Amino acid sequence: MSPAYKAGLAGLMGTTVEWYDFFVFSTASSLVFPELFFPDVQQSTGLLASFATFWVGFLGRPIGAVLFGHFGDRLGRKRSLLTTLGLMGAATAGIGLLPRYEEAGVIAPVLLCVLRLIQGVAVGGEWGGAVLLAGEHAPQGRRVILTAMVQQGTPLASILTSAVFLPFSRLGDGEFLTWGWRVPFLLSLPLMAVGLAIRLAVPESPEFERLSAQGQVASAPVRETVQRHFPRIAVCVGACAVPVAGTYLAGTFVLSWATAHIGFPREKVLSVVLLAAVARFLVQPLAAIAAQRLGAARICALGLALYLLAVPLTVLALGSGSLVQITLGVCALESASAIVYAVVAALLTDAFPVRVRYTAISLAQQLAGVVFGGTAPVLAQSLVTAGHGSLWPVAAYQALLAVLSACCLLALTSARRNATASAHTVGK
């Protein structure tokens, strides 16, 4: 296996472990955390509190982007990635060992928030490094394929999360709330060990090694990124709106709505999320191949157009109360956002110079996570409450995000084409 595809595989495996840990929390925040850690409030308020805790992890993500971006741009991609993986595994296993509110009082939700914050710090440094380790190993013209390979870790982690939760969700409420929910969190430790073993075998990024050999490593990557590249970071944040928000809307808010408001059993709704993750897993590589051949701009435009169509269809499906229609709606929503998600990593990578690339793309992605991802479930629930139970305000908000992503992705793809044209002109 070539170093490039070895790096892609390592990025895929490591990112799968990281996102598994993150998605386990998002699933539990819908299914069990309101009852375990916020039992003395009304159902809707408990969901909001649980989703707010879910959002705490997103507050840690920019911290992780700055911290690990600094070390990744100064010392290398690989060292940072090994640290993020170990930190995430320890935090996730710690959540699986937490006492419930009735056993420890307010200390239980406080510890939950602290460990969730650590999860956020870890994942904040993971994504950028994994994408770069694969993308900077990529041969000429193959960057979209290699970075999309890393992006496969997201649906694969979602599949793994749903598959792990499904058998335990069939337990009685007493057993599931006592010990069944803990097992998916504790499984993080063996998964982390596998991810570390694979990641240790991958060489450092050749682009970073060349930069280091020339003595061109940035002395203060964060300062340089903010001073010289802040407008481009803002554009990248907007570009990530739909691919980030779409995942958490389908995987967290829809899950809670279908169980708490419609009354479907946990295992049936988890099956819906599992099917949606499989759809995403199948669509993303096809989107990457198409983008490599037809151009990133066209594929992103297709994905956003389909997303605009999928959002109202999902709302109508939830209103119908039909599990089949909900499944089709969620799969359509996930597939549409997956088309953009598969391509966006390569666009972000090409948007910044090597010396600050880890910091820049990590900040862009994680700020998008704070603004659009972590807020998706709690904002959707708030919009439904404000709309007296109507889901259409949620659809309107998602439509606005699609317009924002379209404008920002247009700017990125135009800049990418101009940079490629300039490089060809210089070559001649």
Instruction: Report the alpha-carbon distance of residue 411 to residue 234 in Å, rounded.
Output: 11
Write the CA distances from 425 to 62, 326, 420, 422, integer angstroms.
Answer: 37, 51, 9, 5
Give the 3-state secondary structure of residue 28.
helix
Query: What percent of the chain shows pLDDT beyond 90?
Result: 29
Residue 211: the pLDDT is: 92
pLDDT at 41 over 90: no
Residue 418: the pLDDT is: 58
Residue 245: the pLDDT is: 82
What is the mean pLDDT of the segment spanning 166-194?
83
Residue 428: the pLDDT is: 42
The domain total for the chain is 1
pLDDT at 426 over 50: no
Instruction: Report the alpha-carbon distance of residue 263 to residue 152 in Å, rounded.
Output: 31
pLDDT band at residue 201 under the 50/70/90 scheme: confident
In the numeric block, the tokens 């700020």 are attached to 367
- Choose the weakest-confidence range: 111-125, 345-359, 406-420: 406-420
Structure letter (DSSP) for residue 106: T
Centre a 10 Å sphere on the Cβ of residue 110 and count the other Cβ atoms it contains. 12
Instruction: Report the alpha-carbon distance of residue 59 to residue 53 in Å, rounded.
Output: 10
pLDDT band at residue 20 under the 50/70/90 scheme: confident
Residue 384: the pLDDT is: 79
Burial of 14: CB neighbours in 10 Å, binned 0-12, 13-18, 19+: buried
Residue 406: the pLDDT is: 93
Domain that holds residue 308: 3-427
Q: Which of 87-96, 169-178, 417-426 holds the top average pLDDT?
A: 87-96
The average confidence (pLDDT) of the chain is 84
What is the mean pLDDT of the segment spanning 305-333?
87
pLDDT tens digits along 61-90: 899 999 999 999 999 999 999 999 899 889
pLDDT at 148 over 80: yes
Residue 30: the pLDDT is: 66
Residue 43: the pLDDT is: 54
pLDDT band at residue 425 under the 50/70/90 scheme: very low
CATH of residue 326's domain is: 1.20.1250.20
Give the 3-state secondary structure of residue 97.
coil
What is the mean pLDDT of the segment spanning 139-152?
86
Residue 83: the pLDDT is: 92
pLDDT tens digits along 263-302: 777 678 778 878 888 999 999 999 999 998 888 888 999 9
Can you read off the two tokens belonging to residue 86? 């170990």
